[in-house]
């Protein structure tokens, strides 16, 4: 019992319950999934099926040309609660282009994706290549640049068909917060995504971040 203001000891109220503060879980890992270069007519739908089965939402950084070809898939990605973001029109190395070409790559993609991106707009430069010019154009157009800190290398032949899973998991296990780069244009990514998600869930304290959280 705690001392009273007068120095004596008072009994707690009969209905008193001990306070149990809720602390942030120690060792908690947040994992954000992102997919580049789609949409793909066969592999993106498979990726969406797996994400739905696991109740996981991801962010899709789409190439404008591909999005124009498959508007139904773009709409499905948005309808199922995933984030849609700008990945340029034709996937060039923007760091080698003048400002007007960089702006055109982003703007042209925006004409296709704009109905599905919302007010908070994200951009990922192809290959992660950017410089002061690219950064200035991106900012002037109201986008936030998002890169990654986990590269699954699912695009590399050396990590196919499923070595990319172990490679990605090792990186996720080593850090408290993971922004994962994968690609929804590869058959091997779609085929082994279920295993990847199951094994992420098996990591102690791992949770999947929501796409909206990438902005702030």
Catalytic residues: 36, 183
Burial of 54 (0-12, 13-18, 19+ CB in 10 A): middle
Q: Is 35 helix (H, G, I), strand (E, B) or coil?
A: strand
Distance CA 84, CA 103 (A): 19
Count of CB atoms situated within 10 Å of the CB of 32: 22
How far is Cα 135 from Cα 112, in angstroms, rounded to an integer? 22
CA angle centred on 64, ends 157 and 189, rounded to 5°: 25
Residue 179 · residue 158 · CB < 8 Å: no
Burial class (CB in 10 A: 0-12, 13-18, 19+), 100: exposed
């Amino acid at each position: 019992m705690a001392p009273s203001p007068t120095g004596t000891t008072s009994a707690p109220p009969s209905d008193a319950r001990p306070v149990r503060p809720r602390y942030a879980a120690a060792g908690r890992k947040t994992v954000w999934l992102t997919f580049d270069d789609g949409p793909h007519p066969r592999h993106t739908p498979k990726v969406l099926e797996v994400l739905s089965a696991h109740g996981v939402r991801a962010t899709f950084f789409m190439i404008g040309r591909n999005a124009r070809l498959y508007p139904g898939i773009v709409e499905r990605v948005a309808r199922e609660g995933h984030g849609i973001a700008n990945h340029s029109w034709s996937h060039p190395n923007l760091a080698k282009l003048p400002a007007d070409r960089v702006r055109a790559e982003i703007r042209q993609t925006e004409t296709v994706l704009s109905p599905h991106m919302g007010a908070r707009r994200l951009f990922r430069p192809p290959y992660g290549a950017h410089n002061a010019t690219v950064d200035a154009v991106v900012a002037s157009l109201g986008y936030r640049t998002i890169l990654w800190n986990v590269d699954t290398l699912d695009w590399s032949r050396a990590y196919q068909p499923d070595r990319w899973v172990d490679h990605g998991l090792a990186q996720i296990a080593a850090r408290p917060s993971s922004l994962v780069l994968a690609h929804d244009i590869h058959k091997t990514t779609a085929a082994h995504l279920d295993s990847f998600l199951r094994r992420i869930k098996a990591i102690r304290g791992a949770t999947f971040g929501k796409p909206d959280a990438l902005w702030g």
